[in-house]
Chains A and B, each alone.
Chain A
Amino acid sequence: MILHFIIVVLGIALLLYIIFGGADFGAGILELFSRKKHFTQIKNITYRTIGPVWEANHVWVILIVVILFMGFPKIYALISTALHIPILVMLLGIILRGTTFTFRHYDAYKDNAEKYYSKVFAYSSFITPLLLGMIAGAVISGKINLEANNFYDIYIAGWFHWFSFFVGIFTASICAFLAAIFLIGEADDEKLRRLFTTRAVKANIATVIAGGMVFISAKFEGISFFYEYWNNTTSILLTLFATFSLPVLWLALIRKKILLSRLVAGVQVSLIVMAWLWVQFPYVVKLKNGDHLSFYNTQAPESTLEALAIALLVGVMIIVPLLLFLFKTFNKLPTKA
């Protein structure tokens, strides 16, 4: 019971990080792929919309880390050891992204420096979710092998493969997609709204292609995730739901139903994430030798789980209302004026 409560909180934290943190990353990715003439407009809107919320959105990842190392310490230790290199690169992305975003806005002078902040911000906004996806891909790929006897096999082969790469690209595309959908409603003129709509469609196409590539690469790399996914009725159903809701999203975009389009996009991403989690559960890390680290064989002792559950419960009760109030205060849909 307590264990499952913790797992559910972990799942929700992951989902919220992907959606809210993802939309933040995506805003940077959109900047990366935007032409010069739109740049200033996109930059201003990015600042206005994610400025107040980005720091809060990224605390989800800390929560995930804390739950892992307190509740499932073996998983945390193994991931940190085997995936040291991609995690380090991802951290670089997190540092550069947060700092350059803030520096860009708060620098007292607007001069050449702004150009550099923007470049670094845009690239790190792409690299961070790419690496996060690659880490997730590596975790489920079954290629992690700590028993090997050379550096490459232990610390690189586990994550350096096409499957994890495409999971990374898929993740980055989802971020861009979420951001574009979100920003449509925040744009203050028709031209910009059309620009974000085009971006949303492009990102949507990229997501579908990347998703396809994930399965193709899984098949070619002999990753069992592929078979497990397609043998799992629930996951197939969730995927089908996500796919068939695409026309609803397009219709919502055409009809300019902003709230509906956001809702559908959020639900679609959630469905995909849930389909993935459903295949995974209760396994977290798959190793090359066939062993699994699951929630059940790595859980911390009962007394720790109880303490963690209490801390999470207290946390949720404090955080959720505050966070909702934050979104409510700053996420005003543009008025007709």
Chain B
Amino acid sequence: MENLFAARSQMAVSLGFHIVFACIGMVMPFLMALSHFKWLKTGQEIYKDLTKAWSRGVAIFFATGAVSGTVLSFELGLLWPSFMEHAGPIIGMPFSLEGTAFFVEAIALGFFLYGWDRMNKWLHWAMGLLVGISGVASGILVVAANAWMNSPSGFDWVNGEALNIRPIEAMFNEAWFTQALHMTLAAFVATGFAVAGIHALLLLKQPNNTFHRKAVRLAMYFGAFAAILQPISGDLSAKDIADRQPEKLAALEALYKTSQPADLIIGGLPNDETEQVDYAIHIPGLLSFLAHGDFNAEVKGLDIVPKSERPPVLITHLAFQIMVGIGSFLFLVAILYLFFSWKKPHHIWKKWFLRITAISAPLGFIAVEAGWVVTEVGRQPWIIYKVMKTSEAVTPMPGIQYSLLFTTLIYLILTFLVFWLMKRQIKALNNSYQSANQ
């Protein structure tokens, strides 16, 4: 296996693993804080139990997320030393602030998990909320650093050296806002639906269980609202990359030739030989509208860059279809859920709707992974867009395939273990909490 490919795969495995735990770490504290708040306000034991039951699961996800994040901070150097050597001074700012945010998160988590009955109850509650706030801040800062790779700014590139570095400008690069917004909402959608879905699954087994019903409601507050906002954020992102990284948009839409107007190509299999998309559905002019707000606008195709500078079209396009497909599905589920809870609350607990909610549980995370593939693979062959190629950044150390094998194995075992632990948590629910049987 080629060293570069092995390094990219290892990065993909590590980030793909970490991103799930990071999302849960960002969102679960808000769910717990809401439930915790309801307990403090109403004194209903069920909310306390729900908070505690969630927090046991969250502790497992947090620890895994914390260590896999630590690994990433080293892995950037292990796999991409030349990238870090040049990018570190430019983009270190969000990382160093993220260090603080993560510190606060870890401290607040310590208070939250171990502080029951050991501190003022409202301070304890606030600490739980602080976990979420600093978690979201961490996420935004890390995504800002990633956005810089798509939209490098804050330096002058002269003869392979970065001069005149302006760290603040680099942090607030053009892509940071759209990317951070999209990622944060995605975390809320994925986690909200995952939690609601798991409790919906349990409701299918134990209908009328109040504990799980309350859990579905709390989780859906976040999941449903985020799912409805997400298409707007997606639209902002699409318009943004249409201007900034036109070949990325072309790759994810599988638009080989610059067209005016441009069709929206749904599904299909892009073929790099014929530069056609087989088996796809074409909607005339829609891509022009989505990218530029005008049905007759020109949309740049992959032909604006030489073949050596094109991202892999097949993977990017398919990942994009998966992300958008799931996003649209969850959007509909969210609309339906909000309509039911407004007009016909008992419909939420009907078997068919519980099934839909349960099916949604993994979908958000699949969309998150797909979206991550879109943004990362869609940037190739660049590690810093139009500045440094990924192949120039890779470590000179040969044999990365062994390190890939090793890392993948560890992460597979951990994934299996976390799933298994969660299953055990759920199995033990009815014994651990009185209110879980109501």
Contact = CB atoms under 8 A, between A and B. Distances in A.
Contacts of A61: 70
B71 interface: yes
A55 B106 contact: yes
Query: In this complex, which of B56, B59, B78 has the most chain A Cβ atoms within 10 angstroms of its Cβ?
Result: B78
A237 interface: no
Given A59-B106, A95-B67, A311-B100, A76 B167 contact: no
A76 B102 contact: no
A213 interface: no
B96 A67 contact: yes
B96 A84 contact: no
Interface in A4-53: 51-53
Contacts of B403: 84, 88
A69 interface: yes
A304 B107 contact: no
B118 A73 contact: no
Contact of A52 (B64, B110, B396, B417): B110
B165 A58 contact: no
A151 B3 CA distance: 14
A330 interface: yes
B107 A70 contact: no
A41 B256 CA distance: 66
Contact of B90 (A59, A92, A304): A304
Contact of A70 (B60, B81, B95): B95
Contact of A323 (B85, B107, B414, B425): B107
Q: Which of B73, B78, B97, B106 has the most CB of A within 10 A?
A: B106
Contacts of A289: none
B73 A65 contact: yes
Contacts of B103: 56, 59, 63, 315, 318-319, 322-323
Interface stretch (A100-108, A185-193, A261-269, A274-282): A100-108
A284 to B, nearest CB: 14
A211 interface: no
A95 B13 CA distance: 15
Contact of B100 (A78, A314, A329, A330): A314
A319 B106 CA distance: 10
B110 A303 contact: no
B77 A303 contact: no
A80 B68 contact: no
Given A58-B66, A107-B424, A323-B107, A74 B85 contact: yes
Interface string B397-416: 11100010010001000100
B318 interface: no
B99 to A, nearest CB: 5
Contact of A80 (B62, B74, B118, B425): B74
Nearest to B119: A329
Q: Taking each of B62, B73, B95, B107, which has the highest tally of chain A beta carbons within 10 Å of its own beta carbon? A: B107
B27 interface: no
A259 interface: no
Interface of chain A: mostly helix, strand, loop or mixed: helix
B96 A70 contact: yes
Interface residues of A, number: 63
Q: How large is the interface on B (under 10, 10 to 19, 20 to 34, 35 or more residues)?
A: 35 or more
A96 B71 CA distance: 11
A97 B89 CA distance: 31
Nearest to B92: A70
Given A322-B107, A330-B114, A84 B397 contact: yes
Contacts of B74: 65, 80, 87, 91
B104 interface: yes
A252 to B, nearest CB: 28
Given A52-B111, A99-B417, A319-B107, A304 B165 contact: yes
A87 B104 contact: no
A308 interface: yes
Contacts of A258: none
A66 B96 contact: yes
B86 interface: yes
A103 B99 contact: no
Contact of A88 (B62, B66, B92, B406): B406
Interface centre among A71, A73, A103 (most CB of B within 10 A): A73
B96 A311 contact: yes
A318 B96 CA distance: 13
B76 to A, nearest CB: 7
B70 A62 contact: yes
Contacts of B70: 58, 61-62, 91, 94
Interface string B43-87: 000000000000010011011101111110111111001101110
A303 B165 contact: yes
Contacts of B164: 303
A77 interface: yes
A10 to B, nearest CB: 12
Given A55-B63, A65-B73, A77 B81 contact: yes
B335 interface: no
B57 to A, nearest CB: 8
Interface in B350-387: none
Given A52-B113, A307-B93, A329-B118, A59 B397 contact: no
A223 interface: no
A70 B88 contact: yes
A79 interface: yes
Nearest to B14: A91
A78 B427 CA distance: 49
A69 B60 contact: no
Nearest to A63: B99
12 contacts: A55-B66, A65-B73, A70-B93, A73-B85, A87-B74, A91-B74, A102-B59, A108-B432, A303-B167, A311-B99, A312-B96, A314-B100
Given A51-B114, A70-B89, A329-B115, 13 more contacts: A62-B69, A80-B84, A95-B414, A102-B59, A102-B62, A107-B421, A304-B89, A304-B92, A311-B97, A311-B100, A322-B103, A326-B107, A330-B118
